[in-house]
Amino acid sequence: MSDLSAISSEDDVWALLERLILGSSVPAASDAFRRFAWQPVLLYLPEDPLGHVVTPSMARALAEFHASLARSYAYLAYGRATKQVLRSDDLQTLDLKMVTISGSNGIEVNGTDLGQLLSRIASKMTGNQVTLSVVLLAVLYFSSPVAVSWIHDHFEAQAREREGRERVLMSEKEIQRLRLVTTALVQNPELKPIADLADQSKEPLVRSVIGKPKAKVLGADLTGDERQG
């Protein structure tokens, strides 16, 4: 994605964030998400029976995840992290289609809908950091490295304390990408509430797969300890 004219994968979103932090040339916020095809996988359960089933626990998790996303949308668009400020057109944009994964059991976000959501947020913002703010929201809510880091921080520490085992190491690429997030938040402390809300959105997704033999949340593998809560 050298010209940043289309976003078709998570790698493309990270490349855009990196160029924003480095001060490199990027498309205007109104154009950055016009061609958006990345479909983040929220939940993936490879050993569940086929049939594209959404259980009540999964539905609750998706609803809580969506509620957190709506609050972040409201914060960026209107400066208040509450759904009360959202208008009918905002709620329509936030009504993302969730698609069941073909060939196994899982839920992914429709890429076109997500691109329209990000474009909509950008259109309601002003200032020099519009594109950065929206890209940061995308990686905080939907990227694998951020999910891996959150899961490690919330579950691995407990397991290490119980069992005395070492922390599972993250890849160098994941570490580098998390550094981009840290840099963006240090340079733009007003975006810290988005990071806090995104953290809150992870817990219901993880909770919904407790007891499953295998599971991924936003691309992050959950160990046996994590799936058992």
User: Could you count the other beta carbons within 10 Å of the beta carbon of residue 168?
Assistant: 13
- Tell me how far apart the alpha carbons of residues 223 and 181 are, in angstroms, rounded to a whole number: 25
DSSP state letter for 7: B
Element (H, E) at 109: strand 105-109
- Tell me how far apart the alpha carbons of residues 110 and 126 are, in angstroms, rounded to a whole number: 27
Q: pTM higher than 0.75 for the full model?
A: yes
- Tell me how far apart the alpha carbons of residues 121 and 112 are, in angstroms, rounded to a whole number: 14
Tokens of 90: 């905002």
Tokens of 137: 């929201």
Name the strands in the sheet holding 41-45, side by side, starting at the edge strand that comes first in the sequence. 98-100, 105-109, 41-45, 216-217, 220-221
Q: CA torsion 60→64→66→69, rounded to 10°?
A: -170
First to last CA, the chain: 39
pLDDT in tens, the chain (229 residues): 455 568 899 999 999 999 999 988 887 776 778 889 999 999 998 877 665 667 788 899 999 999 999 999 999 999 999 999 999 999 999 999 998 876 567 899 999 999 999 999 999 998 778 999 999 999 999 999 999 999 888 766 555 554 444 455 678 899 999 999 999 999 999 999 999 999 999 999 999 988 888 899 999 988 655 444 4
